[in-house]
Amino acid sequence: MSPTLEKALTAPHKLEYTYKRSLGPVLSPFFTALRDRRILGVKRRDGRVMVPPKEYDPDTSESLDELVEVSDEGVVTSWSWVATPRRQQPLDRPFAYALVKLDGADTAFLHVVDAGDEGNMETGMRVKARWADETTGMITDFVFVPA
């Protein structure tokens, strides 16, 4: 390697993949319900409800299939603030990512809170889903807003 480096040629490069994903027996009802503006969780054997639902219990690996509807309102259990959103992110203005424990659920759900200002965010605050005018069955069909 020569001690001095010549300036390398550079070029912008955009990497894009059009991934399609099969959903299976638990996530298919979950995303179908989102299209209907409803949120489903899955009940573990001990009765606790996980949202989003998983096909398998993360502790015991048991198959899970008992889907239950939970509220689209809940409580923020933690949050972080995005002052300058990137182009991929769901909102083009400052917002929070938050862990939200929905009423009827036992686990927190990682999602977005459109709170306007950082000062409006607080752990323990109540939030509710604001659904898109047209829902298509995607996790981006809603964002949370302060309730």
Partner 1 sequence: MRDVAVVGFTQSPSMRSEPDRNEVEILIPVIDALRKQTGLTSADMDFICSGSSDYLAGSSFAFVSGLDAVGAWPPVCESHVEMDGAWALYEAWVKIQMGYADTALVYGFGKPSMGDLPITMALQLDPYSVMPLWPDTLSIAGLQARHCLEKGILTFEQMAAAAARDRGHAKGNPNAQVKGDFTVEGILAEPFLANPLRKSDCAPISDGASAIVLAAGDRARELSKRPAWIRGIEHICEPMDLGVRDLGRSRSTEMAAAKAGVGKGKIDVAELSAPFTHQEILVERALGLGPDTKVNPSGGALAGNPLMAVGLSRIGECATRIWSGEADRAVAHATSGPCLQQNLVCVLEGE
Partner 2 sequence: MSDANEAANEPIAVIRTPISLDYHYSAGQSASRFLRAIAQGKLLGQKCPVDGRVYFPSRGACPQHGVTFGDEVVELSDKGTVVTFSIVRVPSENIPLELPYITINVLLDGADTILIHVLDAKLEDVRMGMRVQAVWKPKEEWTTSTANILYFRPIDEPDASYDSYKEHI
**Residues making contact with partner 1 (CB under 8 A):** 1, 5-8, 10, 13, 15, 19, 21, 23, 27, 30-31, 50-52, 54, 58, 77-83, 86, 88-90, 97-99, 107-112, 118, 123, 138-140
Cβ at position 87, least distance to partner 1 in Å: 9
Q: Are the beta carbons of 72 and 63 closer than 8 angstroms?
A: no
Contact call for residue 19 and partner 2 (CB under 8 A): yes
Contact call for residue 7 and partner 2 (CB under 8 A): yes
Q: Are the beta carbons of 55 and 63 closer than 8 angstroms?
A: yes
Among 61, 88, 92, 124, binds partner 2 (CB under 8 A): 88
Looking at beta carbons only, is 12 or 119 nearer to partner 2? 12
Q: In angstroms, rounded to a whole number, what is the distance separating the alpha carbons of residues 147 and 129?
A: 9
Q: In angstroms, rounded to a whole number, what is the distance separating the alpha carbons of residues 85 and 102?
A: 25
Q: In angstroms, rounded to a whole number, what is the distance separating the alpha carbons of residues 38 and 71?
A: 8
Looking at beta carbons only, is 8 or 83 nearer to partner 2? 8
Q: Tell me whether residue 85 is exposed, middle or buried, using C-beta atoms within 10 angstroms of its C-beta: 0 to 12, 13 to 18, 19 or more.
A: middle
Contact call for residue 78 and partner 2 (CB under 8 A): no
By three-state DSSP, how is residue 53 classified?
A: coil
Map residues 42-71 to x or -, x wherever contact with partner 2 holds by CB under 8 A.
Answer: ------------------------------
Q: CA 136, 82, 126, 43 torsion: positive or negative? A: positive
Question: Interface residues with partner 2 (CB under 8 A)?
Answer: 1-2, 5-23, 28-29, 31-32, 35, 88, 136-138
